[in-house]
Structure 1
């Protein structure tokens, strides 16, 4: 006796078709806003002379971190410029920043709600497990179905892949606030909003920033995969080098990604350290 196959694939495609039919205008609006924002930021970064942008980034790195990070930012971005990947690196940076901002903007409130409700946490946790274990290539299918090809499905896939750490660590950071401090706030008559913004969030900032750091790194790790669906950037150069078996070109493009990753990682890590000292 043959056991009938459960038509999970058909169910997923039905849901996808229903969503596309009923929320078409919303998806078009999202595509317009997100695509315009990413492309606008990339054009802004490429509008100014690269040396000016490099100098600004180096100053920001110095203000956030230490002089060593500023020196690495200066030398690293000059290397990217010398290798000829400046424009594509700025496109990649734009995609990563917008995907990270969306992930943070959605992830922090969801994490706060999970910290306030155990029932919601029990619902969200399996979803996050699913998002983190599902192969990243699978995210490209609904992204293409909803937004066609281009930079927007790349942002969409990056958000799904990168948002779990922000949600998890925001939830964890708030739950780790000592109970005696929470009880003291309640004893003094603090409202839930006062307790959240004046006690729990300030104490949870270091943990939340650690989640944001991981979100940015995961967004950056999606650049090559996103290039497979038309997202422009350094990932396109890496993918082209793989298809043409050009090891040298692939190494150079990969080096540009590494430089960008180290700069973003060190900056966010220093923000975490400053928040802990604060």
Structure 2
């Protein structure tokens, strides 16, 4: 057998180069096939995402173009209704006034509309998947590794296929945010249902409740505090993702932060970061207070 490369066989010597060529060919084939598939189904993709685009545009128009005092009063009312705390409500008032004072009201409203839509979509997707995981150990074993990938894979990586499929714009940014924000909702829905007291489940079985009745009348009401924690974490994840989503065409505060990074505008970046932190704290405190109220209510009913 002919030898080369310091006595190694030719085949072994050339193996790394052959492997590299094969990998390049596989990558070209996969990338080309993926692009061709996207071109063929692009009309279906546009039709499927059109309602979501209209909903986002409508909500953004309502938030950004309505008189600021109306939006301000609505947000403050929601904060008080959720928390029933004057301290949290006052904090929300001061945060919103500070955002308006530094001239970031419009951008904040755009970000709020994006976070609202993404949170709604993430809850709609995450809640049934979490219920499925809670009711089936086999489904849980299948779903959890997928959630691990969604939470650990760098967001820039899954932005690539999203942009290839949907192009540049609000919808791909929204999809990237939903991918990042959905896992907490699924995990905490699964956890909340599984933590429901088994004695309560046995009592429901003794009264002849069906699986559907147990879910809607026992498990979901008793797991509401945990579900609210899931919604809280979903909101926080969505807010933390808006800066990355701005890379694919999402406006608002994230776009300003990205511009500040590119141009090294410290003040601009700090003010927009402050606005993000302010609304994140307001959402966090209001949703946590609402969850605590739900927990006390369910404990009273259980007793």
CA–CA separation in structure 1 for the residues paired with 2:228 and 2:29? 38
* 5+ residue gaps, structure 2: 1-11, 298-303
The 3-state SS of whatever aligns with 1:87 is helix
Change (3 A) 1:264 1:19: farther
CA–CA separation in structure 2 for the residues paired with 1:51 and 1:75? 14
CA–CA separation in structure 2 for the residues paired with 1:67 and 1:80? 20
Q: How many angstroms does 1:15 deviate by?
A: 7.2
Q: CA contact under 8 A between 1:114 and 1:171: conserved in structure 2?
A: yes
CA–CA separation in structure 1 for the residues paired with 2:114 and 2:213? 35
- After the TM superposition, which of the residue ranges 248-257 and 175-184 deviates more from structure 2? 175-184
1:179 to 195, 198, 202: 198
Q: How many angstroms does 1:50 deviate by?
A: 1.1
Length, aligned pairs only: 278
Q: CA contact under 8 A between 1:55 and 1:74: conserved in structure 2?
A: no
CA–CA separation in structure 2 for the residues paired with 1:94 and 1:139? 23
1:78 to 85, 97, 100: 97
Structure 2 match to 1:31? 49
Structure 2 match to 1:240? 259
Q: How many angstroms does 1:209 deviate by?
A: 1.1
CA–CA separation in structure 2 for the residues paired with 1:164 and 1:177? 21
CA–CA separation in structure 2 for the residues paired with 1:189 and 1:167? 28
The 3-state SS of whatever aligns with 1:222 is helix
Q: How many angstroms does 1:9 deviate by?
A: 5.1
Q: How many angstroms does 1:132 deviate by?
A: 0.5
CA–CA separation in structure 2 for the residues paired with 1:62 and 1:192? 36
Q: CA contact under 8 A between 1:50 and 1:81: conserved in structure 2?
A: no
The alignment's TM-score, normalised by the length of structure 2, stands at: 0.86
Structure 2 match to 1:55? 73
CA–CA separation in structure 2 for the residues paired with 1:121 and 1:18? 34
- After the TM superposition, which of the residue ranges 16-25 and 62-71 deviates more from structure 2? 16-25
* 5+ residue gaps, structure 1: none
Question: Are 2:133 and 1:110 equivalent residues in the alignment?
Answer: no
Calculate the aligned-residue CA RMSD, in Å.
Answer: 1.9
Question: Are 2:245 and 1:218 equivalent residues in the alignment?
Answer: no
Q: CA contact under 8 A between 1:173 and 1:208: conserved in structure 2?
A: yes
CA–CA separation in structure 1 for the residues paired with 2:122 and 2:46? 20
Q: How many angstroms does 1:26 deviate by?
A: 3.3
CA–CA separation in structure 1 for the residues paired with 2:127 and 2:32? 31
Question: Are 2:269 and 1:250 equivalent residues in the alignment?
Answer: yes
1:229 to 227, 248, 255: 248
The 3-state SS of whatever aligns with 2:234 is helix
Q: How many angstroms does 1:20 deviate by?
A: 2.4
Deviation track 1:82-126 (CA, whole Å, cap 9, x = no partner) reads: 111111111111111111111000000000011111111111111
Question: Are 2:173 and 1:154 equivalent residues in the alignment?
Answer: yes
